[in-house]
Structure 1
């Protein structure tokens, strides 16, 4: 079993895995279109976290990390991830393309929040999303920390990739963050 991390699973892996591989999936865009009421926000003040939305360009890429789960750990890891991603995420199977082109693409599982789930926030301007992010805090920490950690992790695993949505949001959040304003 392989699982794809494209959000906090890139830097906050809290399950046992055998191998990790950097690469991408095609046909999607990473967007901060999902409310978080259980990790980076609360029901009264939801945060925003990433999900994947279908792209009109079948060759668009979302970079992340694939984790191979040991056979003995599949049941435990699946239960853990089903609980962790309970706020509107469902599982899909897609083809993963490793960064190392010597390795053949393979199928894996990912968790995606679709428009039909109750916590789907949907599109908004980068500025609107930044205003929501800067003021949201949940059991897993501040929403701004999620944005900063994801941006830093992406620059580490895929420095050649310019994720416009993510990096524009990071800039907008920093403009509102007293720790970065001068």
Structure 2
């Protein structure tokens, strides 16, 4: 279901829950009251969206996460509760941050803590109809593209590896095959090719050696 920012919020409070499944999992950069780890059902996380404004350039787009509909899948991430007074600022920030091909939808969020009831969240999703959409490709091809891409927000490798690292920390029993396969492929490539960002090479190779 698509909604505008003015239609969002918990009844009677004006507060909004925002669901993060990509960089919002590990790089929030907006004020929030508290957060919950959990999942949304009917979606799978895929690195099928191109990025020419954050993790790539128009001549060499990076690959970032979007969601595809799949009734047999669920995607884990983090829901952030935004206070009423912060909603206009946060919505403006997210509209700019997710401007390249992303639209808003709402869906039910299921907290990992089963003591909490499901609730509605706002999420940003890039569909195949947007001009930056790249679509599926073999894992090695995606990994090579990620390895060689960087943009104003940093290396594409950082986006992938920080997402994988954080998901393992907050949802250790959940195996995201697509995400972790790409992480493994990029780690292999780092050992043989390296990347332009020496800091990322040192950081993520050291991390993989410490956590086989």
Aligned length: 180
1:85 paired to 2:101: no
Q: Give the structure-1-normalised TM-score.
A: 0.96
What is the distance in 1 between the residues matched to 2:100 and 2:52?
A: 8
1:28 counterpart = 2:43: yes
Q: Which runs of 5+ in 1 are unaligned?
A: none
Shift of 1:35: 0.3
Q: What's the TM-score, normalizing by structure 2?
A: 0.83
Residue number in structure 1 paired with 2:60: 45
Query: After TM superposition, where is structure 1 displaced by more than 2 Å over at least 4 residues in a row?
Result: 178-182
Taking the aligned partners of 1:145 and 1:103, their CA distance within structure 2 comes to 32
Matches within 5 A, 1:20-169: 20-57=35-72, 60-169=73-182
RMSD, aligned α-carbons: 1.3
Cα distance, 1:26 vs. partner? 0.2
Match of 2:33 among 3, 11, 18: 18
* CA–CA distance in structure 2, aligned partners of residues 23 and 176 of structure 1: 31
Q: Deviations over 1:142-180 (max 9, x none)?
A: 001111100001001100000000000001111111244
Structure-2 separation of matches of 1:56 and 1:3:
21
The structure number with the bigger radius of gyration is: 2
Shift of 1:63: 0.3
Can you list the C-alpha shifts for 1:10-43, whole angstroms capped at 9, x where unaligned? 1001000011000000001000000010110011
Q: Distance in 2 between matches of 1:73 and 1:6?
A: 21
- CA–CA distance in 1 between the matches of 2:39 and 2:60? 32
How many Å separate the matches in 2 of 1:174 and 1:143? 13
Question: Matched residue of 1:165: which SS?
Answer: helix
Return the alpha-carbon distance in structure 2 between the equivalents of residues 164 and 114 of structure 1: 21
Q: Distance in 1 between matches of 2:76 and 2:27?
A: 16
User: 1:117 & 1:124 partners in 2: Cα distance?
Assistant: 17
Query: Comparing both chains, which one has the higher relative contact order based on Cα–Cα distances under 8 Å and sequence gaps of 6 or more?
Result: 1
Partners of 2:49 and 2:126 within 8 A in 1: yes
